[in-house]
């Protein structure tokens, strides 16, 4: 075997040093940027990350106990697990001291469920019943867990999936619960198939799909529902296209198709809210993220051309996009460039503030107005992130180097500094009220309270909002 060429070795060392320098700079600035920032080194990397709705009261006054859905990607010698973790975070009104205990970890895995079929590629909770969790393993079948029943099972070996969904020929990543219909799930796979499932009526093993489409000849990567109605969904994949379906049509034929990107399309996202009255124009919008290092904004009524292309912002494949659950025009994107980047589509086309007018730092004078913030706390590619529906700017993100980070950007970062600058005329856009995705009536229903309450109590004498760092504690 020939040894690596010196030029390649030198480039690798230079990149590693640049990442370390960027991380050190981020660590220094973090207390001034974030209201909350916590890092935890997991035993195995997690490919998935999602906040569960609701939260519990922490035993410490002024703190709340949030819940996260994670998974494992082991080396194969150890079995994989679906994980539920609790994270204790200070309430927005809690006064804290950011100068103490920068490395403290307030996250604890409280429930482990054996996950057949390999690593957890993706996991999502049912919006109408948050204790119902669907996962995509490294196998053709999909798993559905009932975490409430599993937590009550004394024998850990029996804490497996309640239902196995079999209809795909290969493994996959994308899955989406229907936000309008309880228990309805759609999944995509590497064999190009798109399957719909009536999980509410399913039981046991070998459940066949209630709706099926051979959507592509190549892999499909992601699927998502529009908030406008219970039958329209979109999917993307390696054919570089975006397609829309009406699930009322039994033949599985796509309603519309657009050649979306110059490379594989990894992600699609529709808004997660809906207005009380007629759907505003913003509810027709959706996003796609691609290996061509761009995010595109679309109107589902006209797929001939995107409304806008967010390019020259990313140094690698875009793996995920997500709209803010709270802000109509804000979304975030993440991927191989190690960052989670926030954008505001309402700022597209705005004139940047004049240099030196005090609107921002000199280094930011040339930044496009639509670029709001980039989280630079990860040293490796971001596998997935999740924006909280409970707190306005609270985010959790996981990276390939086994790190989980929980962070909340300060409100001052998102203030519209360009309000005084000349703006191009545009029609007013209705601002629908953000809707909670059917948060459970009882906080305990979002996870078994007895499990979460067993988590160690953080010391009230060591309350900090900037928590974690390079020496974060590893989960056992």
Q: What is the DSSP string of 93-156?
A: T----TTS-TT---EEEEEEEE-TTSSEEEEEEETTEEEEEEEEESSSSEEEEEHHHHHH-S-G
Contact 180, 232 (CB under 8 A): no
Which residues are CB-contacts of 5 (< 8 A; sequence separation ≥ 6)? none
Residues in the chain: 476
CB atoms within 10 A of CB 238: 18
133: β partners: 125, 145
**Residue 275 has what DSSP assignment?**
-
Percent composition of the chain: helix, strand, coil (DSSP 3-state, to 5): 15, 35, 50
d(CA 99, CA 102): 7
Residues 6+ apart with CB under 8 A from 301: 284
User: What is the spatial distance between Cα 186 and Cα 224, in angstroms, rounded to a whole number?
Assistant: 8
**CA pair distance 380, 315, nearest whole angstrom:** 12
Taking only the tens of pLDDT, the chain with its 476 residues reads 555 566 666 777 888 999 999 999 998 888 888 888 899 999 999 999 999 999 988 888 889 999 999 999 999 999 999 999 999 998 877 777 666 645 578 899 999 999 999 999 999 999 999 999 999 999 999 999 999 999 998 787 788 999 999 999 999 999 999 999 999 999 999 999 999 999 988 877 767 899 999 999 999 999 999 998 999 999 999 999 999 999 999 888 999 999 999 999 999 999 987 555 444 778 899 999 999 999 999 999 999 999 999 999 999 999 999 999 999 999 999 999 999 999 999 999 888 766 655 444 555 557 899 999 999 999 999 999 999 999 989 999 999 999 999 999 988 887 754 444 444 433 333 333 333 333 333 333 333 343 444 444 444 333 333 334 444 556 64
> 38, 48 in Cβ contact below 8 A?
no
Which of 438, 423, 385, 357 shows the shortest CA–CA distance to 48?
A: 385
Q: What is the pTM of this model?
A: 0.85
Cα–Cα nearest to 146, from 130, 166, 157? 130
Residue 18: alpha-carbon gap to chain centroid = 26
Q: Which residues contact 212 (CB under 8 A, 6 or more apart)?
A: 167, 193, 194, 195, 196, 252
What are the two backbone dihedrals, phi and then psi, of residue 123, each rounded to the nearest 5 degrees? -140, 140
């Amino acid at each position: 075997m020939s040894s690596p060429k010196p030029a390649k070795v030198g480039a690798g060392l230079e990149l590693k040093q640049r990442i370390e320098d960027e991380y050190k700079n981020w660590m220094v600035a973090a207390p001034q940027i974030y209201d909350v920032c916590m890092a935890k080194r997991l035993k195995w990397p997690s490919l998935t990350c999602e906040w569960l709705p609701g939260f519990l009261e922490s035993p410490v006054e002024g703190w709340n106990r949030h819940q996260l859905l994670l998974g494992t990607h082991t080396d194969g010698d150890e079995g994989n697990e679906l994980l539920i973790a609790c994270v204790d975070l200070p309430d927005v009104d809690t006064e804290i001291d950011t100068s103490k205990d920068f490395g403290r970890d307030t996250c604890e895995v409280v429930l482990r469920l054996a996950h057949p079929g390999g690593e957890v590629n993706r996991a999502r909770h049912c919006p109408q019943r948050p204790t119902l969790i669907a996962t995509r393993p490294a196998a053709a079948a999909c798993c559905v867990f009932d975490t409430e029943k599993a937590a009550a099972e004394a024998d850990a070996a029996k804490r497996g999936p309640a239902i196995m969904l079999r209809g795909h020929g290969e493994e996959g990543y994308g899955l989406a619960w229907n936000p309008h219909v309880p228990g309805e799930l759609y999944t995509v796979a590497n064999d190009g198939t798109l399957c719909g499932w009536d999980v509410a009526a399913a039981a046991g093993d070998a459940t066949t799909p209630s709706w099926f489409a051979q959507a592509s000849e190549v892999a499909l990567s992601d699927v998502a529902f529009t908030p406008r109605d219970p039958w329209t969904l979109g999917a993307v994949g390696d054919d570089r296209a975006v397609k829309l379906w009406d699930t009322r049509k039994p033949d599985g034929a796509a309603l519309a198709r657009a050649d979306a990107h110059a490379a594989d399309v990894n992600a699609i996202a529709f808004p997660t809210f809906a207005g009380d009255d007629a759907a505003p124009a913003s509810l027709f919008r959706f996003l796609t993220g691609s290996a061509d290092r761009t995010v595109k904004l679309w109107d589902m009524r006209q797929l001939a051309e995107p409304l806008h292309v967010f390019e020259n912002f990313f140094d690698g494949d875009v793996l995920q996009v997500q709209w803010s659950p709270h802000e109509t025009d804000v979304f975030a994107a993440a991927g191989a460039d190690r960052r989670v980047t926030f954008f505001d589509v309402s700022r597209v086309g705005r004139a940047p503030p004049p240099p030196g007018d005090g609107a921002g730092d000199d280094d930011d004078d040339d930044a496009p107005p639509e670029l709001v913030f980039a989280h630079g706390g990860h040293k490796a590619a971001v596998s997935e992130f999740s924006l909280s529906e409970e707190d306005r700017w609270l985010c959790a993100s996981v990276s390939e180097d086994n790190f989980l980070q929980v962070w909340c950007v300060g409100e001052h970062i998102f203030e519209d500094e360009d309000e005084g600058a000349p703006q191009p005329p545009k029609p007013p856009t209705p601002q629908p009220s953000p809707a909670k995705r059917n948060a459970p009536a009882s906080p305990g229903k979002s996870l078994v309270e007895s499990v979460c309450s067993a988590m160690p109590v953080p010391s009230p004498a060591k309350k900090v909002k900037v928590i974690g760092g390079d020496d974060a504690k590893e989960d056992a």
